[in-house]
Structure 1
Amino acid sequence: MKIEDEIQSSKFEDNYHKAVINISYTYSWLNNLLRINFERYDLTSQQFNVLRILRGQSPKPATINMIKERMLDKMSDASRIVDRLMQKELVSRCTNNIDRRAVDIHISQKGLDVLSKIDQEFKTADLLKHSLTEDEAATLSDLLDKLRG
């Protein structure tokens, strides 16, 4: 559906303005679709992102700073997200053996199991493949990379 129809307005300053509105609207639309899938597991998209980072890092530990650097949402409070994941027993935290000031964070088996279930039930491709071909998705990704410069 065209952005004009979605927001019920066609008053844009120019195509750059229209593109910014469209990207912002599409981000919210996509976030809502993702949120629905994560809520089944009592996770936020930020918590899911941290679990994926930790799974990719495993078996090596991660630090809060490393998680912050890799997170999609740079405004998230990684420490608080890790605390919530600890309460859910999806991650563990321990003091670094080399640097006592640093804290090592590991994904737990329970965290790995949750991600495995999500992987089986939900494929990110399902969000786009009904509207875009794989080549179109690649072009869109390339354009977004170009936009960020």
Structure 2
Amino acid sequence: MKVEEILKTKANLSLPKKVLINLQLTSAQSGSEMMCTLKSFGISVQQFNVLRILRGQGKKPANLSTIQDRMVNKMSNTTRLVDKLIDKKLVDRCVCEENRRKVEIVITEQGLDLLKEIDPKVEELEKKATKNLTEKELEQLNYLLEKLRS
């Protein structure tokens, strides 16, 4: 029996339990779809997250700590992710001029170009995933999820 069917047939499940199971199901489904989309570009979801963080920095470099703090998945090995992105020439590692012990990470033009290529596919995926919700419902859901995490 699928988890969705269990949720519908088990009236004895508490509402908080149903909500958390639904959150996990939705997260797993959207994560799987994102993983499949990004796989064709040769990067993982976590690597994509690092690239977006660095793009958001503009021309300003980020250190490993900043990247780690902004990661969606806090359990990611940021150093390993950055090393893989360096190998793919999507990011560069530089030594800070003011503090030679500080390592700074910047996105390369190749990394920016890859994101430009990926962006429409991700936007299409986001629209598809939320197509059954109105703008108002999306705002309400976003508000409730933020409230749940606070």
**TM-score between both structures, scaled by the size of structure 2:** 0.90
C-alpha change, 1:32 and 1:9, in structure 2 (3 Å) is farther
Paired AA for residue 134 in structure 1: E
Paired AA for residue 140 in structure 1: L
Q: In the aligned structure 1, how far is the partner of 2:89 from the partner of 2:7?
A: 41
Matched-pair identity in %: 39
CA offset digits 1:51-76 (Å, max 9, x no partner): 00000102010100000011111111
1:119 equivalenced with 2:113 (yes/no) = no
C-alpha change, 1:101 and 1:6, in structure 2 (3 Å) is farther
Query: What's the offset of the Cα at 1:37?
Result: 1.0
Query: What's the offset of the Cα at 1:94?
Result: 1.1
Query: What's the offset of the Cα at 1:36?
Result: 1.2
Question: Superposition pairs for residues 62-141 of structure 1, below 5 Å?
Answer: 62-123=62-123, 124-141=125-142
Asked if 1 retains the 8 angstrom alpha-carbon contact of 2:30 and 2:129, the reply is no
Asked if 2 retains the 8 angstrom alpha-carbon contact of 1:61 and 1:105, the reply is yes
**TM-score between both structures, scaled by the size of structure 1:** 0.91
Query: What's the offset of the Cα at 1:125?
Result: 3.3
- State the Cα RMSD in Å: 2.0
C-alpha change, 1:111 and 1:6, in structure 2 (3 Å) is farther
Query: What's the offset of the Cα at 1:8?
Result: 8.0
Number of residue equivalences: 148
- Which ranges of structure 1 fall in alignment gaps of 5 or more residues? none
Query: What's the offset of the Cα at 1:130?
Result: 1.9
Q: In the aligned structure 2, how far is the partner of 1:6 from the partner of 1:86?
A: 45
1:35 equivalenced with 2:35 (yes/no) = yes
Query: What's the offset of the Cα at 1:41?
Result: 0.6
- Which ranges of structure 2 fall in alignment gaps of 5 or more residues? none
C-alpha change, 1:108 and 1:51, in structure 2 (3 Å) is same
Q: In the aligned structure 2, how far is the partner of 1:130 from the partner of 1:14?
A: 28
C-alpha change, 1:12 and 1:118, in structure 2 (3 Å) is farther
Query: What's the offset of the Cα at 1:119?
Result: 1.3
